[in-house]
């Protein structure tokens, strides 16, 4: 399973793939931001961490298939896919 994390100066989040929150750390100074700003920052960091986890999952899947991250290898694998298997 892939994880993602993001932080700013006073908030750190860690999520699982799909955005499930694993960890949230808020420094005391973040409480001075006010409820709207604090929630806005937390949600933004969760969004960034989720995107990171998704990218990692895609890379992990590609590597497990032996494709690595090389576009040439991915294209070569695509060329071996029979036409009857392709989505039209």
pLDDT (tens digit per residue) in 47-87: 999 888 888 777 655 555 554 445 655 565 556 656 666 55
What total of structural domains would you count in the chain?
1
Sheet order of strands, 11-16 included:
3-7, 11-16, 21-26
Give every CB contact of residue 13 below 8 A, 6+ residues apart in sequence: 5, 6, 7, 21, 23, 24, 25, 42, 45, 46, 49
- Give the pLDDT of residue 52: 87
Which residues form the domain of 75?
3-85
């Amino acid at each position: 399973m892939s994880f993602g994390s993001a932080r700013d100066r006073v908030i750190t989040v860690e999520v699982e793939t799909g955005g499930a929150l694993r960890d949230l750390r808020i420094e005391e100074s973040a409480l001075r931001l006010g409820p709207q700003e604090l929630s806005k920052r937390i949600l933004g960091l969760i969004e960034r961490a989720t995107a990171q986890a998704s990218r990692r999952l895609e890379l992990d899947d590609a590597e497990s298939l032996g494709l690595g991250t090389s576009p040439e290898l991915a294209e070569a694998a695509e060329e071996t896919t029979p036409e009857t298997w392709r989505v039209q």
